[in-house]
Structures are given as structure tokens and as C-alpha cells.
Structure 1
Amino acid sequence: MNLVDSHAHIYSEKFDEDRAQAVERAQQDGVSKIYMPNIDHTSIDAMLEAEEEYAGICVPMMGLHPTSVGKDFERELYLVEEWLDKRAFAAVGECGIDLYWDKSFLPQQQEALKVQVQLAKKHSLPIVLHTRDSFNETYEIIAAAQDGSLKGIFHCFSGTVEEAEKVKELGFLMGIGGVATFKNGGMDKVLPHLSLENLTLETDCPYLAPVPHRGKRNEPVYLSLIAKRVAELMNKPVEEIAERTTANAINLFKL
């Protein structure tokens, strides 16, 4: 199988002891590309070092994560804009809205997302969206901005069939990760109703490790476990899951 991990923080300090081995394990299991979302100014150096070290495999995005949006978010966004102006990235992201940890910066998160939507349009790049406890808030901004030019991924999708239909109507993809393997993750009721043309696979490592590794550090080699679970739930061969989701990711990112 040829797999693409469309969302992985392989540059995280959680991999400082064995990053090379983690990348090699993933490659041996068929993972040919690892797309890396940025967090904020503190993650850029590590992300770009991973890109250089594993050229052709680890591909960076540039964006500001909603949990890093605070009082100085404009300064962070200026840095994102500077980087997008001076070199190529696969996408703008990850960005979006997160109401799980803290709702007090919702207006700033909304403004930061709107700015990054415009940056995605300016640079003709896809946008990778974080929507934890905030699907409706994020969807409203993207729907209002959609003029046919916006594309991207609702990362870590774990919503309803109705929400999936909204994503599809926007022309966006859904990133399916470890939650699909969780007993009470809810995706067993949703994935059978989805089409492969709207999906990518992701680990979001080092977070959200799939069963049977739940609670431990996640890594790209576990992408095949997610693919197998998606195949079971959609009643399709795992090879078809791999082929279609890989094609979707490559076609979207084009880097």
C-alpha cells in the first residue's frame, strides 16, 4: 500500500529521541509522504529541520494553531505571512477554532482564521482546519469565504453525517484519524455513509493514537491501522482506501 499521512507533528519533541526511526518505520509500512502542520513561531524551526532531514517525505505547512491565538496573535500572523511570501508550503495550517480548552479568545480565533483564509486564497493554497468543539463556528467562516477557490481539509473529522455533507458541499475533504478506531468515537455510524472521494487519512501524531495503542504516543506507522478500520467500516478493500485517500491528498497538496 502507498499511504499519505495528511496531518502529523513528526517534528514534535516527542520524537526527538527516535525521529529517524519513526520515519523509517512509516516508510517501511508504505507511508510515502508526511504532511506537517505548523503550530506557531515556536514550531517553525523544528518543522523545517524535519523537512530538510527527510526531504521528499516530510512536507511543511504554514499557519497559526487556534490554541496559540492570544493577545499577540497579530504578531504571529505577520510571521505566517512573511514565511508564505518567501517560500513554498503545502498548505495554510493548521488553523481554525478550538473551544475545548478556552472560549475567551473566540473573537481573536475567528479573526485569525479569516486572515489565514485570505492568505490561502492569495497564495492559491489549500487550508487545513482545526475544529475542536467548533464545527459550526469554523464552518460559518469557511462557507462565507467560499467563492469556488477555497479547498482544504477539515482535520480530525469526527462529526455527524449531516456535518460531513456540509463539508462535502463546500468542496473540502475530511481527515480521518485514530478516532475512527475508538469504541465510542462515533465514526462507525458515520463512515459507512461517506464517499472515499472526500477523505484523507491522518495520524495527528503524537496525539490520538489508534487502538490498540490508544493513550500512547502516536506515529505515522500507525496510519495503516486507521486505513484498515476505515476499510472495515466502509466495507471496502483496504487497498482501495489507501489508493483513493492517497490520491486525494496528493491532488490537494500538490507538493
Structure 2
Amino acid sequence: MIITDTHTHLYSDAFDDDRHAVIERAISQNVSRFFIPAIDSETTKAMLKLETDFPEHVFLMMGLHPTSVKENYKDELKHVEDLLSQRHFYAVGEIGIDLYWDQSTLDIQIEAFKRQIELAKHYDLPIVIHCREAFDEIFAVLEEMKGDKLFGIFHCFTGTLEQAHKAISYNMKLGIGGVATFKNGKIDQFLKDIDLQHIVLETDAPYLAPKPYRGKRNESAYLTKVLEKLSAIYSVSEEKIAEITTQNSKDIFGI
């Protein structure tokens, strides 16, 4: 069985003391494919080192996270453009809109989001979307830029069934992680109405640890708890969930 974590920040300083042990622990639990989202230029060096240390397991994205869209965002976008022109990445991400932390940057967040979608289309890459309290704004951008070359993952999906169908209509898979195991997570109530072909697994480690680890540091090995929950929701084996979601990740990332 191969389990794919489509979104994990393994370069985070939360793992500085035991990063290799965390990765080896995940691999021992059959979580052996790690897709690594970018945040901003400050994380690039750590991401590249992670790939060097685990070349058969680590696959990198490049992008500017919406909470890093600040006064210097044009310089940060130039960094993204430069890196994408120099080597292969498996997605442009994570990108999007976040209105939880700062609503004053909405205009430049939208500008950065659109520019990075254009880059993804140029390089025939998927996008990985970060959305926090910004479904309407995200969907407005996707509607404007929809087309055959627009595809990817709606990371950490926490919306409604209606929003799930809308995201899928824009060629997006839904990234499902620890929230599906939360008592008040809500998405577990309608996931069975979403075909598994539209689902990929993720941890967003070190954030959003699933039950029974909620509130603690998340790690990729805990993806087995999400797998367990989805197996119960869909009434199919964990092996089948792993097989389908890993294939979905291959369809998106091309590897």
C-alpha cells in the first residue's frame, strides 16, 4: 500500500529536532510520497535540502502563500518566476487568498493569485489553493481564469457540499486531512456524496493533526488516521482509499 501526503510542510522548524525520524516514521506507515508546498523565498533553501535528503520521496512545489503577500510581494513573485524557469516543480502552490489574518491585502492577494495561475498555465502545472474565509473571492478568480489548463487541488477543503461541487467543477481535487476526523469538522457529514475520484489525502503537517492527536504537532505518519476515517465514511478498505487517492495525486502531479 502506498499512501500519498499531498501537502506537508516537512521543512518547517517544528521538525528541526527530528525531521529525518518523522519522515522515516511516515515511510514505515506506508506514507511514502510527500508533496511540499512553498510559502515564500525564506523557505526555499530548506525545501531544496529536503529534496536532496529524500529524493525518492519528496516532490516540491513553488509559489507564494497568500499570507506572505505583503509590501514586497512583487519581489517574492519574481523569486517564484525565477525558480520555475530554472528547474522543474510539480505544482504552483500554495497560492490563493486568506482573509482570516489580513483583509487589507485582498487586492494584492488577488493579483498574486492570478499571476501565479498564469505561471501554472504557462508551465502546464497544477495549482494548489489555500483558501481561508475567502471562498467567494477564490471562486471569482477561478471563474475568470477557468479552462483546460486550470487544474489542481483545493488544499485543506473545509467548505460545504455545494462549495465542494463548485471546486470540482474547476478541475480541482479536494485535499482532505485531519479536519475530517474532527467532531465539529462538518465535512465528514457529506464526504460520502463526493466520489473518491475527486479526493486526495493531506496532513498540512505540522498543522491540523487528526484525532486522537488534535492540538499536537501533526506529522505525515498521522495520515493513517485520515485514511481510517475515510474508510469508515466510504465503507471501503483503507487499501482501496490509498490506491484511489494516490492515483488521483499522480493524475494531478504527473508522478
Percent sequence identity over matched residues? 47
Q: TM-score, normalization: structure 1?
A: 0.98
Match of 1:223 in 2: 223
- Mapping for residues 56-135 of structure 1, pairs under 5 Å: 56-135=56-135
SS in 1 for 2:42: coil
Deviation string for 1:192-232 (max 9, x for gaps)? 11110001000000000000000100000001110111111
* 110-119 or 130-139, larger mean C-alpha shift: 130-139
- Mapping for residues 137-148 of structure 1, pairs under 5 Å: 137-148=137-148
Task: Give the distance between the partners of 2:16 and 2:47, measured in 1 at CA.
Answer: 12
Q: Give 1:167 deviation, angstroms.
A: 1.3
Q: Give 1:93 deviation, angstroms.
A: 0.4
1:236 maps to amino acid: V
Match of 2:251 in 1: 251
Task: Give the distance between the partners of 1:106 and 1:180, measured in 2 at CA.
Answer: 28
Deviation string for 1:84-103 (max 9, x for gaps)? 00000010000000011110
Deviation string for 1:73-129 (max 9, x for gaps)? 111000000000000001000000001111010001000000000000000000000
Task: Give the distance between the partners of 2:100 and 2:232, measured in 1 at CA.
Answer: 30
1:47 maps to amino acid: M
Deviation string for 1:159-206 (max 9, x for gaps)? 111011111211110000100000001012121111100010000000
1:216 maps to amino acid: K
Q: Give 1:234 deviation, angstroms.
A: 2.0
Task: Give the distance between the partners of 1:104 and 1:5, measured in 2 at CA.
Answer: 33
1:176 and 2:182 correspond: no
2:87 maps to amino acid: R
* 211-220 or 142-151, larger mean C-alpha shift: 142-151
Q: Is the 8 A contact 1:192 1:235 kept in 2?
A: no
1:43 and 2:43 correspond: yes
Match of 1:149 in 2: 149
Over aligned residues, Cα RMSD in angstroms? 0.8
* 110-119 or 187-196, larger mean C-alpha shift: 187-196
Question: Any unmatched runs of 5+ in structure 1?
Answer: none
Q: TM-score, normalization: structure 2?
A: 0.98
Question: Any unmatched runs of 5+ in structure 2?
Answer: none
Q: Is the 8 A contact 1:35 1:61 kept in 2?
A: yes
2:45 maps to amino acid: D
Q: Which runs of 4+ in 1 moved over 3 A?
A: none
